[in-house]
Structure 1
Amino acid sequence: MGITSPEKMAEVENLNSINLTRSLTDMIIAQDAQGEIDQSVIAEQKKRFSRDRQQGQRPALNPFDHPASRHREKNPHRTGDGSVQLANITTNQSKGFNLNKQEFVDAVALRYGWPVEGLPNTCVCGSPNSADHTMTCKKGGFVCIRHDEVRDLTASMLKEVCHDVSTEPTLLPLDGELLRYRTANTAPEARVDICARGFWTRGQRTLFGHPGLRPDGRLPS
């Protein structure tokens, strides 16, 4: 995730701090009240420490960087901020990078905004087809897949801090009650995405609903 470990960096940063303040420490020990510290030397030391820090962190921040890319002066598969793209990612099943050749071609096309080959011109719903439409069409399964992934992830996190966490529990049936909002689900066997006990108040149930997201992160229209 690009997060470094302070425990691993503590010793190096401590040595950098000692070296950076060595001249000031020597002046204090010698009780030299008239001496001056060369700020240009301090600035140069800070730059050197920063370069060394970046070089030391680069292997940890790019764990999927292909070894061959380290020997290239210019890597066409990197963005300006140094993030690694698909062509430099090694096969890793646990991270979801074990793509077959068709999935790899489609993933590259989606990543760079290129047309995806093999898509029919018209969707089964009757609308003009495109890569964006295939991900948002209610006739397909991608909308449900994205919704369920967020639901399951949220539920797994709630299980660490709450009790009695369940997904899609059935709501209590209505017996003539009038609900305030017209968007309320009044259908028989109505369900909610997640239910957890003890989220706001101890022992009290809290219901969570997730509307689902588009592939670009926007809420569905």
Structure 2
Amino acid sequence: MPKAHEKAFGNQVVSQLKEVAGAPMLHEGICNTYHQALKELAASDKIEWLLTTEASQVLTGNPSLAKVKASDWLSEDAFQEEVFGPFAIMVVYESIEELEKATVKLKGQLTCTVWGDSTELSTNKDFLNLVEEKCGRLLFSGVPTGVEVGHAMQHGGPFPSTTDSRSTSVGSSAISRFVRPVAFQDMPEELLPEELMEKNPLRILRKVDGVFIR
């Protein structure tokens, strides 16, 4: 968050979060880990809490929002660890150079969103290139869509968001995680898998000599 907008943006987010009630978390272990992570962050004098609320009931995660300077975020590894739950940390930077330094140190993410108009985006292409290296899906002025099976679905990213960033975990391309290439050279037609027979009895879409045909 640019320093010039931190107060106005922070106030607006807090006002919206106050309208959100806490919700049950998946199980006790996740809930305990969430609240323990918040306690550990609260022990630092470099972090400012904009919103923090106690759980109203067992296994509940309530929204929390904290703020930290980019210089402190860069120097404290604890600030860079994921907190799984309804928590956000607003990192305030004073220059594009400081933002780029923070981006370089950012760990692998499933998604990253960049908010800005066309002028801001076009004048900061180097920054966008840095963000691209950190995620599996790059969004512009929007939030991630739901995850569903489809040809365009990309759900994965650099470590630690996924252990293998070469494939999506959801969508048509996810099949590549479970297969390996095998070539059949000069094998008799009748012995080939039906998927590879010249006559294509299954009528599936295939790439032959670089061209997709059915």
TM category, shorter: under 0.3
TM-score, scaled to structure 1:
0.24
Q: Which has the higher helix share?
A: 1
TM-score, normalised via structure 2 length? 0.25
More strand by share: 2
**Greater relative contact order, per chain length (Cα 8 Å cut-off, separation 6+):** 2
Of structures 1 and 2, the larger Rg is shown by: 1
